[in-house]
Copies of this chain bind each other. A is one copy, B any other.
Amino acid sequence: MRTEGLSINLATVRRQWGLREAVEACARHGIGAIDPWRDQVAAAGLDEAVRIVKGSGMRLTGYCRGGMFPAADAAGRAAACDDNRRAIDEAAALGADCLVLVVGGLPPGSRDLSAARDMVVEGIGQVLDHARAEKMPLAIEPLHPMYAADRACVNTLGQALDICDQLGDGVGVAIDTYHVWWDPELEAQIARAGAGGRILAHHVCDWLVPTRDLLLDRGMMGDGVIDFPLIRRWIEAAGYRGPQEVEIFSAADWWTRPGDEVLATCIERYNKVC
């Protein structure tokens, strides 16, 4: 079965494998692209991670993740920016296509969503020169509104694109079906993203009915209600032809299965459903 155009976000097999094992397994299945997470890279050590990745010849469709900009005080926000600069350096060393940003939610104790959103724009703005110098595009990932409080206060593609318009070059969006499938403005905002050259990544993951956990009950493509071909058509019509990256957090199901079964299923569903 076809594996061209398929990428595996390594969160999908994070319980099964470390970085080296995951990369070797993807190669074994004929998969040519991955997106590793910072904790996976840190566990291997950055230098070793670079050797693993470069040695594999894999494309990195992204590096997960920067972001988490809002904080209760200026020192916290400065520390977040410093951490994002390090993430940019790591992404550049690894040769990733982009650094994915999960922007962060409300600071502890805060109910000021508007202020948190301003902190996100300010934070990205403060690290953007560094990202441009490293030629590392920043991909804002709008997260589902159910994460507005604790993970990401950028919750629609339109909102992410407004931030891109404000900040200029070097920033774009990662479009994850799980987070955006419900949005009545989705088709129009994908077209807008394409027209602006802002689409940096396309993640796929299904919405299960019922969803039993807000974070860790995401679905394999085909097991839920998302119309993947439709969204892919909109994305390709907007000019993006890059890989579809499978990113599934699934504590009770896919994380409990053998990693090879998970990868084989990703390939099968990518061919049948996406």
Contacts and interface: CB of A to CB of B under 8 A. Distances in A.
Interface of A: 106, 110-113, 117, 144-146, 148-150, 153, 155-156, 158-159, 181-184, 207, 209-211, 214, 224-227
A113 B228 CA distance: 12
Given A144-B145, A149-B209, 9 more contacts: A106-B225, A113-B182, A117-B184, A146-B146, A148-B181, A148-B182, A149-B207, A155-B182, A214-B214
A183 B113 CA distance: 10
A215 to B, nearest CB: 9
A111 B227 contact: yes
14 contacts: A113-B227, A145-B146, A145-B182, A145-B183, A146-B211, A148-B181, A149-B207, A149-B209, A149-B224, A149-B225, A153-B182, A155-B183, A158-B184, A210-B214
User: How many copies of this kind of chain does the complex include?
Assistant: 2
A29 to B, nearest CB: 27
A156 B185 CA distance: 10
A159 B156 CA distance: 14
A150 B182 CA distance: 12
A210 B159 contact: no
A153 B110 CA distance: 30
A206 to B, nearest CB: 10
A52 B243 CA distance: 62
A139 to B, nearest CB: 19
Contacts of A156: 184
Given A146-B146, A211-B214, A214-B211, A113 B181 contact: yes
A210 B214 CA distance: 9
A156 B227 CA distance: 20
A66 B145 CA distance: 25
Contacts of A112: 227
A224 B214 CA distance: 16
Contacts of A214: 146, 210-211, 214
Nearest to A184: B159
Contacts of A144: 145-146
A112 B231 CA distance: 11
Contacts of A149: 182, 207, 209, 224-225
